[in-house]
């Protein structure tokens, strides 16, 4: 088969001028050289590209936003099916639903939904892909109020390994729909998603209180009080880290309150009463502005590693350990810890309701590190690999697949646990027995 005869989108190969841009992914640690990058113009092109890849026995990488931390959306010598021409979100304000194309970024969904006073809970950086985020779970600042992104997912349109187009929802292919919500990169190429939207006026109170690292334990106390007493309208994150290379380390609490400003003021008073913060940026702002606050600091082209864990508690001993480890962040890098409040709407869905595993936790916690100098690669990666080790005794079952930077070696089983893993294997045997979609946290058939 000659692909160009069946394909109306773009085809970029190693000799072409756009090749270096086309092969790049968000994490600049990843430097791979695919044989081809193709950008389908429609679903027929996706089917043609997949057929071509199978005939030529090319390794297949699928790309939406390109944010995969281990670089699953690119490969050496294979084909990248880059869905960036399949972007857009159509909102039905009457039904409160959105149909979102499989290459869309979070910004497109956020903006389309807010234009009708609606929202879908998604992640915190607007250039993340809807597909990768959703197929893994989707955490964000509205998660305690509205759940994970998959908890608002109504249906997925998928091109399967054998080139069929199918739909998965609670009514159509329900077992596939179960697996797509947490292990979704394994089962096909999602060309569209349908989401339930929620009424949301977009007026929120958001910001960060920053103190010197020495006050981390005091701040952690205020954070725990907020978690215990706060409503599901309130999302909070406790952090410690080096905010910019060479700057002194700090401790922070970030909040988003989506209730009235009077309620926000009342609920946040204790946090804000802690004397002499280095900064207090909490203020009312539009949700759409807030969704872009991290876009520039987390722009494409940086080097990145992380490790996360779900936790039952955040004891002082762990806060102290993390404060010590902040001083081990290699000079020249920005790194630290964050613990997000979990629970709320996330915990109202049964643990076995979706493939996603980790709903019983009280916190999601992560060590994350960003740097630019390739000479720091090993030091930074090894910091991230071990930084959350002290959290192990406090961990709850599951791992968030989208955070897992390690690859192979049975890691997928540790994400889902034995029972869910076996169920996912059975599903993989049904939908992708040849493991065409293997650039992911792989469920081996």
Ligand X SMILES: Cc1cc2nc3c(=O)[nH]c(=O)nc-3n(C[C@H](O)[C@H](O)[C@H](O)COP(=O)(O)OP(=O)(O)OC[C@H]3O[C@@H](n4cnc5c(N)ncnc54)[C@H](O)[C@@H]3O)c2cc1C
Residue 411 CB, shortest distance to ligand X, in Å, is: 14
Q: Of 393, 335, 397, which Cα lies nearest the Cα of 366?
A: 335
Q: Which residues of 402-441 are buried (b: 16+ CB within 10 A; e: fewer)?
A: bbbbeeeeeebbbbbeeebbebbbebbeebbeeebbbbbb
**Strands 279-280, 203-212: pairing kind:** antiparallel
Residue 303 CB, shortest distance to ligand X, in Å, is: 12
Query: Which C-beta is closer to ligand X: that of 241 or that of 277?
Result: 241
Residue 86 CB, shortest distance to ligand X, in Å, is: 8
Whose CB is nearest to ligand X? 132
The answer to whether 432 and 161 have CB atoms below 8 angstroms apart is yes
Query: Which C-beta is closer to ligand X: that of 25 or that of 253?
Result: 25
Query: Which C-beta is closer to ligand X: that of 138 or that of 259?
Result: 138
Query: Which C-beta is closer to ligand X: that of 66 or that of 277?
Result: 66
Q: 104 vs 47, 150, 156, 190, 363, CA distance in Å?
A: 18, 16, 14, 11, 29
Residue 275 CB, shortest distance to ligand X, in Å, is: 31
Query: Which C-beta is closer to ligand X: that of 52 or that of 216?
Result: 52
Q: C-alpha dihedral over 109, 139, 431, 417, to 10 degrees?
A: 180
Query: Which C-beta is closer to ligand X: that of 119 or that of 189?
Result: 189
Give me the helices (H) in 243-308, please. 261-272, 287-290
Residue 167 CB, shortest distance to ligand X, in Å, is: 14
Full DSSP string of 317-379:
HHHHHHHHHHTTSPTT-EEEEEEEE--GGGGGS-GGGSS---TT-SEEEEEEEEE--GGGHHH
Site residues for ligand X per CB under 6 A: 26, 62-69, 72-73, 83, 102, 123-125, 128-129, 131-133, 135-136, 138-140, 185, 189-190, 298, 402, 439-440
Residue 436 CB, shortest distance to ligand X, in Å, is: 11
């Amino acid at each position: 088969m000659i692909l160009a005869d069946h394909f109306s989108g773009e085809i970029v190969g190693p000799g072409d001028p756009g090749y270096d841009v086309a092969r790049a992914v968000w994490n600049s640690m990843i430097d791979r050289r695919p044989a081809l990058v193709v950008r389908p113009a429609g679903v027929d092109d996706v089917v043609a590209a997949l057929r071509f890849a199978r005939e030529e026995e090319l390794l297949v990488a699928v790309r939406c936003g390109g944010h995969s931390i281990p670089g699953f959306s690119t490969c050496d010598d294979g084909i990248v099916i880059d869905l960036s021409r399949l972007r857009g979100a159509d909102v039905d304000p009457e039904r409160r639903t959105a149909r979102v194309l499989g290459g869309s970024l979070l910004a497109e969904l956020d903006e389309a939904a807010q234009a009708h006073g609606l929202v879908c809970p998604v992640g915190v950086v607007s250039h993340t892909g809807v597909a990768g985020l959703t197929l893994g779970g989707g955490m964000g600042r509205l998660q305690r109020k509205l759940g994970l992104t998959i908890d608002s997912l109504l249906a997925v349109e998928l091109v399967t390994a054998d080139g069929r187009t199918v739909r998965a929802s609670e009514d159509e292919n329900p077992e596939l729909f179960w697996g797509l919500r947490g292990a979704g990169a394994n089962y096909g190429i999602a060309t569209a998603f349908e989401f339930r939207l929620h009424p949301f006026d977009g007026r929120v109170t958001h910001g960060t209180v920053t103190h010197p690292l020495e006050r981390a334990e005091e701040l952690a106390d205020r954070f725990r009080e907020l978690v215990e007493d706060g409503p599901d309208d309130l999302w909070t994150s406790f952090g410690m880290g080096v905010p910019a290379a060479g700057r002194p380390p700090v401790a922070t609490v970030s909040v988003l309150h989506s209730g009235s400003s009077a309620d926000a003021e009342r609920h946040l008073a204790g946090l804000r009463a802690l004397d002499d913060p280095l900064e207090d940026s909490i203020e009312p702002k539009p949700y759409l502005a807030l969704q872009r606050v991290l876009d520039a600091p987390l722009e494409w082209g940086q080097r990145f590693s992380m490790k996360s864990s779900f936790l039952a508690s955040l004891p002082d001993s762990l806060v102290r350990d993390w404060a010590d480890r902040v001083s081990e962040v290699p000079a020249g890098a920005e790194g630290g810890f964050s613990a997000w409040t979990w629970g709320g709407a996330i915990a109202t869905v049964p643990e076995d309701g979706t493939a996603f595993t980790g709903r019983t936790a009280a916190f999601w916690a992560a060590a994350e590190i960003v740097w630019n100098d390739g000479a720091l690669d090993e030091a930074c990666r090894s910091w991230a690999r071990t930084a959350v080790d002290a959290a192990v005794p406090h961990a709850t079952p599951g791992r968030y697949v989208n955070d897992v930077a390690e690859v192979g070696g049975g890691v997928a089983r540790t994400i889902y646990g034995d029972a869910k893993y076996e169920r996912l294997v059975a599903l993989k045997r049904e939908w992708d027995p040849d493991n065409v979609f293997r650039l992911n946290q792989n469920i081996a058939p």
